[in-house]
Amino acid sequence: MSENDNLQDADGKNEVEIKDPTLKEESTLEVENTSEDKAKEIVESESVSTEDTSSEKTSEAEIDTVSETNTSKEDKHVDEIEAENAEDAEDESNVERHEVEEKDYHAMSMQDLATELNRLLKHHKIQTISKQVNQIKAEFNAKFSQLLEEKKEEFVNDGGNEIDFYYTNDTKKLFNQLYKDYKLSISSYYKEREQNLKQNLENRLAIIEEIKGLLNVEENINTTYKHFKELQEKWRNAGPIPRDKYNNAWNTYHHHVERFYDFLHLNNDLRDMDFKHNYEQKLKIIERAEELAQSDSINHSFRELQVLHKMWKEELGPVAKEHRETIWERFSNATKTIHDKRQAYYADLDKAYEKNLEKKEDLISQIQAIAEDTANSHGAWQKKIKQIETLREAFFNAGKVPLKVNEATWAKFKDAVRTFNRGKNKFYKGLKKDQYENLQKKKELIKIAEENKDSEDFEVVTPLMKKIQNDWKKIGHVPRRDSDKIWKQFKAACNHYFDRMHAERKAENQHLYDAFDKKVKLLEDIKTMVLSGDNKADVETLKTKVADWKAIGHVPQSKRYIDGKFYKAIDDAFDKLKMDKSKLDMVKFESKLENLANNDNDTRLLDNEQNFIRKKIGEVQSEITQLENNLQFFSNVDSDNPLVKDVHKNIANHKKELETWKNKLSKLRGMYS
């Protein structure tokens, strides 16, 4: 069974029921598709019209003068529906055109723009993407022009003649080819469409002529009627025609169909059956329109109303004269209700869009302010770039603006962003110039390093190599592509020189490095040494280790840190001895003196140590004096009092500590001799 087998034919058998399209299982009305094919899924009617005794040839001029009987009382709410359907009649891809996504082409790279153009060409009808293609082309050309300027400047800076400059790249070649493909395809499409529209119009005019010619045919009425039905089917399948001819072509067609029925003496039962069928189907359309008028889904209702009007006009013929004005008035009223609700809906949208416009204008002003603000550092520009990204994101999330200012607002936004980008590019172009100069300076230092890396005159060249290393640090950034390369080159030359110098000096001072190796071994022995438990024997062992350490002698200047590690290890070993604290302090102090005496700067270090001990002696004597003064407050207190006993104990401890410090001072004085 075909998709139209369930529709009523001329006998009155079978008829379709127009149900609520929101009920998936029962619906025979697809509201998302306003094409003629979908309308045929709803109802295929047999038009019943009045007679026509004229047989003159129908012309386009005639089409422009004929009006449709049913729409004699049309208002602007019906005109709006007719205009939409006329546009669909010329371009069957009209619905798809509004579904092509528009993206932020300004934020895309040239490669991304080429990829997006390729995607549009592959996945959308060529006639639906002209707006997107034009925007992509404008953005690509702007970005390539900027790149071209940079390449030209580099070419000139490298010594090239501006006249000889030429540049392109694979992305540009790809984009040019894609755009060429688009131009060829769109040109071919419009040429073919123009021919098709013209041919379809001629076919429809010929069909009208044939309908007019039926009035003069002398044959059986049933045969004539069958021929008439065939012509109606041919009309439905004749294809789109120019939109400016659409309404009048249909009006002319209906005019002659009505005259065919009115003036040709058809069987009254057959005519009445068609009238009845058309009346019943139009009532169903009216009822559905009245349901839609109560719906809150404005756009949904309007799209389905388009389908209903198309069915009314294109698929159903006239009804009995006594019903014509009544049912049209009822359908027109439902249409007006939906139209008025849609107008109110868009009025509310306009208010929301006006608020969105205010937001976007404010965001554009912020972008303009940032673009006008001058910055002269990389960090400041990076901060501004992040601010612009945040504002751009807010702009795209701010919602739609009124259609009349949409293009102007978008252009103003892009201009503000472009102004910012020009300032940013100007800064980084100047930065690149500075980096190029820095590159030349660093290359000069590399030349000096490489010329002197094999020099044997260490006394003269070493200060020079250290100077160019400091100069290198003071020079600013160079282009990123050269940074690693020149650094490795400079570092290699410097390392080559200093490695040679250190190797020679190490050979001259090999005995110092040998001493260092011995001290490393002795240090490990101290760290792993296990005490015997005999304090006297362990003290002697530790003193022997200290004597061995001194006997090894000096180490290289850069390795003298090992002495500190050794004496710390000795102190840690002494701390493990179970000895009287004062005696242990003296033993450790003697070890410390050994370390001081082993240092080339012993006099200065001994002086510092003597000053430290004298200071400690003074502090302890002051503590003892203070404690003795405190005892005077306890003159009337028994000597067994805990507080008095505690003071006497502290005085004794401090005197013992004082004695230790005095012994240290005496030992230290002996070191001077």
pLDDT, greater one: 339 or 215: 339
Give the confidence band of 185 by pLDDT, cuts at 50, 70, 90: very high
Instruction: Reply yes or no on whether the pLDDT at 343 is more than 50.
Output: yes
Mean pLDDT calculated for residue range 303-328: 85
- Rounded to whole angstroms, how far apart are CA atoms 297 and 622? 97
Return the DSSP state at 53: -
Instruction: Reply yes or no on whether the pLDDT at 528 is more than 80.
Output: yes
pLDDT, greater one: 153 or 63: 153
Instruction: Reply yes or no on whether the pLDDT at 18 is more than 60.
Output: no
If DSSP codes are grouped into helix, strand and coil, which group holds residue 51? strand
What is the share, in percent, of the chain residues with pLDDT greater than 70?
A: 80
Give the confidence band of 489 by pLDDT, cuts at 50, 70, 90: very high
Q: How deeply is 127 buried, as exposed, middle or buried, from its count of CB atoms within 10 A (0-12, 13-18, 19+)? A: middle
Instruction: Reply yes or no on whether the pLDDT at 62 is more than 50.
Output: no
CA distances from 79 to 75, 206, 343 (A): 6, 27, 14
Supply φ then ψ for residue 267, to 5 degrees: -60, 125
If DSSP codes are grouped into helix, strand and coil, which group holds residue 543? helix
Instruction: Reply yes or no on whether the pLDDT at 363 is more than 50.
Output: yes
Of 512, 533, 523, the residue nearest 600 (C-alpha)? 512
pLDDT, greater one: 660 or 8: 660
Kindly report the pTM of this predicted structure.
0.43
Looking at residue 637, its pLDDT comes to 67
Instruction: Reply yes or no on whether the pLDDT at 66 is more than 50.
Output: no
User: For the ranges 47-56, 171-180, 303-312, 583-592, which has the lowest average pLDDT?
Assistant: 47-56
Return the DSSP state at 311: I
User: For the ranges 30-34, 125-129, 164-168, 207-211, which has the lowest average pLDDT?
Assistant: 30-34
Write down the mean pLDDT value for the chain. Answer: 78
Instruction: Reply yes or no on whether the pLDDT at 306 is more than 90.
Output: no
- Rounded to whole angstroms, how far apart are CA atoms 225 and 270? 10
Give the confidence band of 37 by pLDDT, cuts at 50, 70, 90: very low
CA distances from 456 to 164, 452, 461, 505, 642 (A): 49, 9, 8, 12, 79
For 554-577, the pLDDT digits (tens) are: 888 888 888 888 878 878 887 787
User: For the ranges 237-246, 330-339, 582-591, which has the lowest average pLDDT?
Assistant: 582-591
Looking at residue 111, its pLDDT comes to 93
Instruction: Reply yes or no on whether the pLDDT at 650 is more than 90.
Output: no
Contacts of 177 (CB under 8 A, 6+ apart): none
For 233-264, the pLDDT digits (tens) are: 888 888 888 888 888 888 888 888 877 777 55
For 84-138, the pLDDT digits (tens) are: 666 665 655 444 444 677 787 877 889 999 999 999 999 889 888 988 999 899 8
Cα dihedral: 553, 557, 558, 561 (round 10): 50
Looking at residue 32, its pLDDT comes to 33
Looking at residue 264, its pLDDT comes to 54
User: For the ranges 80-89, 239-248, 293-302, 338-347, which has the lowest average pLDDT?
Assistant: 80-89
CA distances from 37 to 23, 44, 310 (A): 20, 10, 11
Which residues of 141-256 form beta strands (DSSP E)?
none
Residue 173: in which H helix or E strand, if any? helix 170-213
For 67-77, the pLDDT digits (tens) are: 333 444 446 67
Instruction: Reply yes or no on whether the pLDDT at 485 is more than 80.
Output: yes
Return the DSSP state at 373: S
